[in-house]
Chains A and B, each alone.
Chain A
Amino acid sequence: MSQAFTPGLQVKRSAVVRRIRELPLPGEILVKMGDKVQNGTKVAQASLPGELLILRIPEEMGIEDFEVMKNLRVKQGDTVQKGQLLCEHKGLFGLLRSQFVAPADGLIELITEKTGHVALRLASQPLSIDAYVSGEVVAVDPRKSVTIESRGTFVQGIFGIGGERQGTLMMLKVEPGKELGVDDIPADVHGRILIGGTKPSAEALQKASQGGAVGLVTGAIDDQAMVSYLGYDLGIALTGDEKVPMSLIVTEGFGKIPISRHTLELLAECDGMQASMSGATQVRAGALRPEIIVARDVPAESLHSGGDRGLCQGSSIRIIRVPYFGVYATVVELPHDAVKLDTGAFARVLKAKLADGTVVTVPRANVELV
């Protein structure tokens, strides 16, 4: 029987997920191997070097660089306090005295003779990172990173915005294909990750985020609602750093496609449970998809695991390009040879049966396993 690899999103009731929590620079690891952590537990910390201020003393005082060098009261490596005198110029016969004082506490890191500029390094800033997922510490790279292993339900979306969030899952009382309006968002959503429906309106997104929801997982989104929510347009699928109060994950794509029934059923099992989610998406090499992780004890059984199976006869697929975009089907045949498409291009295809029994031919590149 023919079989082929095709990408799919992971939708698993029971999965083992490992997440590396890495400091941007060497620091201190706060947990040890075998520790049990919650998603909000601090696992590492570091000190970010303070900002370096370039003090343009000649320009500020209206004197020449060599005059600054002659009258400087500090040297490289000195620690200074805010308000401390750095340079004093007596002016003509000592009448037009002017001074330059340190604008903040810090360390004199550099003095440039050619320009009379002084570089002042401000105090370092503390930085800490949390576990993100609940689980166990399974690896520690001293001063650098820690790996957390979480067991439970794992669902990937196709696209998201916003960074990591933790909250309680809350199923919306709507049909999978219902376009989410303001009335579909309950009044009390504080700290919740909302699940369900499709194509939320800009107003619905606003109501949910203003109500304190930390996440929304839905079927699809309209391009204009997304732009309205973000406040700007998005040119490439490289997300995760958006400064939005509520992260967003779409499981299917853009337009109006119902949230997948499999995804919905699985997340419904977790209604009311604590979950971790991230909207971070990176479509290029080293692809990263948005995710929802619910740490819980479930039998090690895979409900749907599109990402790690091959495509074969009987596979359930979703077609991801027009003219059948968003349609679910079952593979009935995988012809070996490339076939000429209506466009005139040659491509490897499959034959798939739709829900109404019709069999259609689709390029293999245009399907995903579900």
Chain B
Amino acid sequence: MTINPDSLRTVLVTDCGSTTTKALLFEKKPEGWRQTHRGEAPTTVEEPIADVTVGATNAFVEVSELSKRPLLDSAKSGDEAPFIKTGSDASRGIDLYLSTSSAGGGLQMMVTGVVKEMTTESAERAALGAGAIVMDAISADDGREDHERIERIRHLRPDIVLLTGGVDGGTRTHVIEMAEMLLAASPRPRFGDTLRLPVIYAGNKDLAGDVSSILNTIGQVKVVENVRPSLDRENLHPAREAIHDFFLTHVMSHSPGYGKLLSWTPVPIMPTPAAVGDMVLSYAHSFNKQVLCVDIGGATTDVFSVFANREGEKIFNRTVSANLGMSYSVANVLIEAGVANIARWLPYEISESDVRDRLRNKMIRPTTIPQTMEDLWLEQAVCREALRLSLHHHKLLAVGLSGVQQKRGIADIFAQKASRYELVDLMKLDVVIGSGGVLSHAPNRLGAALMMLDGFELQGLTQLTVDSIFMMPHLGVFASIHPKAAQEIFLHDCIVHIGYGLVPIYPTGSVQGTELADVFADQKKIGTVKRSFVENVELGNSELTLRIVPKHKRVDVGAGPGETLERRVRGGSLLLDGRNRPIELPADRKQQAAFQQQTFKNLGLA
């Protein structure tokens, strides 16, 4: 069905999440496209209701009541779309309904490849980019025994399996072995006992027939182009398309009530993270920016990035740290980061057992909220560590491939690796977008900015923003129909600009004195970045030109060591951070608390 974007005036969009279904109304006003009303209701994909449309309809009702705009036609029944179609009376109904979904834990996939840092990574990037959670990535060289792999695969109940391996014309045996392993394990799909497991083969093209004949008995095999046709080239799009097709035909359509929901919208339902990814990519392209976006939830943390590779091409990446979150998974942050790393961000002293017990209690009662500043600071300290760990994870997967192709022999099949380099370069990063309750709903916006500055250890000059109400999934799917309108809403209603972080970097021990850089706004000096201090300077509400002049030739403020940086900025807060990177904090716990007290006081957070 073709939709003329110019004919649209009122669009209703839902994001059916694991716990909440959020409905947003987008309307074309005289001043432009705006997000006008919001309603939410518990998602009803689980028993006893087990019909996602019930929760969605409850959310529509709330939007309708809040907007005082009749949206639903009570005369419609059964599987028919319940909406009033806007006609001659422009004050009633909608023109279009769209949705994204991550209910029931989202799209869960397993990927396999031959070499961990090559085909398996490409498979992971394809699956993650399509909006999936990768339950496990199995490689011929992952160090596990056959029986361990079989046991693991059998234990998982993925929605879809992506099988890759070998460049075109490359290895054969290991790819076939992976297919045999999958056959041996015969994993059952998560939904539909009678459904055959959806398997996508995107490996060495010469083996498509063999892989299909091995797996035909246990799965429905779809063959697409190789994700890694050669060592230095990735081709993720065909695999992503196949994932989206299977998502609709095998996952969505078998989830409770989704058959009906699918019939209400002329546009395919997108996995929530895929929609967010599209929005981030579209923003990066439209404004020629390098972007880092994080969504920190209760159970998982998603990181999205767009950075230019060495050829100048903008590369999108997404990772999911499936066990790093602020409530359900908070104890995993505790385990992975350790008490000392969490406690270093606190402006007060606390015993190790107190930290452990408080976080464990948050894990088992995830809906509770901090009532005291001390408790809020503890959650924010956990957030910093979750951000740090998830960015580390992201950096491992967000890599560029250079064109160096090594010669391959039979013996060194696992030794051959394309030359990889990290794409994430924080010094070149333009914008950070923070999303998720702990960032979006931080009682103080500067508090959110400081969490991102600390957790990501930002460098140079970076714009700091948060997503006001996690609108990006809705905008991502809307952008597939009307990109211009989606962008307008994104800039006007979605992104909350807080200000900028300025972090001069220098080799440890190379700089004498306390002053690192002077900062000028439209030629007037407004501050100096001082070693070991974090301070805030308010820039006002208008656009202005910042000029940052390093005071030492080895200090880099974003233009290279000793070079002056000049940039047009929007105003807001400017955080002058003189703690270098990695962030230099006192080693002693008591001194750390005093240091953080001073920082929080400087920023008006304590």
A255 touches B361 (CB 8 A): yes
Known: A54-B184, A236-B328, A254-B357. A285 touches B18 (CB 8 A): yes
Q: Chain B's nearest CB lies how many Å from the CB of A26? A: 8
Surface stretch bound by B, among A175-183, A204-212, A318-326: A318-326
Q: Chain B's nearest CB lies how many Å from the CB of A248? A: 13
A112 touches B353 (CB 8 A): no
A365 touches B357 (CB 8 A): no
Known: A110-B180, A114-B172, A253-B361. A285 touches B371 (CB 8 A): no
B374 / chain A contacts, CB cutoff of 8 Å: 322
A223 / chain B contacts, CB cutoff of 8 Å: 353, 356-357, 360
The answer to whether A30 has its CB under 8 Å from any CB of chain B is: no
A343 touches B18 (CB 8 A): no
**Partner of A159 from B185, B364, B373 at Cβ < 8 Å:** B364
A365 touches B367 (CB 8 A): yes
A residues 86-121 near B (Cβ < 8 Å) are 110, 112, 114-115, 117, 119
Q: Chain A's nearest CB lies how many Å from the CB of B418? A: 26
**Partner of A321 from B214, B299, B371 at Cβ < 8 Å:** B371
B181 / chain A contacts, CB cutoff of 8 Å: 54
Give CA–CA (A33, B271) in the complex, Å. Answer: 43
Give CA–CA (A224, B150) in the complex, Å. Answer: 33
Instruction: State the total of A-B contacts with C-beta under 8 angstroms.
Output: 148
A237 / chain B contacts, CB cutoff of 8 Å: 328, 331, 363-364
Give CA–CA (A114, B331) in the complex, Å. Answer: 47
B residues 64-99 near A (Cβ < 8 Å) are none
Question: DSSP majority for the A interface?
Answer: loop
The answer to whether A281 has its CB under 8 Å from any CB of chain B is: yes
Known: A235-B332, A254-B360, A365-B368. A321 touches B375 (CB 8 A): yes
A236 touches B361 (CB 8 A): no
Q: Chain A's nearest CB lies how many Å from the CB of B348? A: 13
B46 touches A342 (CB 8 A): no
Residue of B nearest to A362 (CB): B371
B334 / chain A contacts, CB cutoff of 8 Å: 235
**Partner of B365 from A234, A284, A286, A321 at Cβ < 8 Å:** A321
The answer to whether A273 has its CB under 8 Å from any CB of chain B is: no
Interface size, chain A (Cβ < 8 Å): 46
A286 touches B299 (CB 8 A): no
A320 / chain B contacts, CB cutoff of 8 Å: 361, 365, 368
The answer to whether B210 has its CB under 8 Å from any CB of chain A is: yes
**Partner of B177 from A117, A234, A254, A368 at Cβ < 8 Å:** A117
The answer to whether A52 has its CB under 8 Å from any CB of chain B is: yes
Question: DSSP majority for the B interface?
Answer: helix
The answer to whether B183 has its CB under 8 Å from any CB of chain A is: yes
B residues 305-357 near A (Cβ < 8 Å) are 323, 328-329, 331-332, 334-336, 353, 356-357
Q: Chain B's nearest CB lies how many Å from the CB of A154? A: 18
A322 touches B372 (CB 8 A): yes
B356 touches A254 (CB 8 A): yes
Residue of A nearest to B362 (CB): A321
Give CA–CA (A355, B176) in the complex, Å. Answer: 69
Q: Chain A's nearest CB lies how many Å from the CB of B45? A: 8
B210 touches A112 (CB 8 A): yes
A343 touches B372 (CB 8 A): yes
The answer to whether B238 has its CB under 8 Å from any CB of chain A is: no
B214 / chain A contacts, CB cutoff of 8 Å: 110, 112
A283 touches B366 (CB 8 A): yes
The answer to whether B370 has its CB under 8 Å from any CB of chain A is: yes
Give CA–CA (A285, B21) in the complex, Å. Answer: 13
A residues 310-360 near B (Cβ < 8 Å) are 320-323, 325, 341-345, 347
B364 touches A283 (CB 8 A): yes
A residues 230-263 near B (Cβ < 8 Å) are 233-237, 253-255
**Partner of B328 from A110, A284, A343, A345 at Cβ < 8 Å:** A284
The answer to whether B173 has its CB under 8 Å from any CB of chain A is: yes
Give CA–CA (A347, B361) in the complex, Å. Answer: 20
The answer to whether B267 has its CB under 8 Å from any CB of chain A is: no
Give CA–CA (A255, B46) in the complex, Å. Answer: 32
A283 touches B210 (CB 8 A): no
B369 touches A322 (CB 8 A): no
Q: Chain B's nearest CB lies how many Å from the CB of A224? A: 7
Give CA–CA (A332, B284) in the complex, Å. Answer: 53
Q: Chain B's nearest CB lies how many Å from the CB of A22? A: 11
Give CA–CA (A344, B361) in the complex, Å. Answer: 22
B173 touches A110 (CB 8 A): no
B371 touches A236 (CB 8 A): no
Please name 13 pairs of A and B residues whose Cβ atoms are closer than 8 Å in the assembled complex, sorted by A: A53-B184, A54-B181, A110-B183, A112-B210, A115-B172, A236-B299, A254-B356, A321-B375, A341-B371, A343-B372, A345-B441, A365-B367, A366-B371
> A114-B172, A345-B370 given. 15 additional CB < 8 A pairs?
A54-B181, A110-B183, A115-B176, A115-B177, A119-B184, A223-B356, A237-B331, A237-B364, A254-B364, A283-B363, A283-B364, A341-B370, A345-B369, A345-B376, A366-B368
In the A-B complex, the 8 residue pairs with the smallest Cβ-Cβ separation, listed nearest first, are: A344-B443, A235-B332, A52-B184, A254-B360, A255-B357, A223-B356, A343-B376, A254-B357
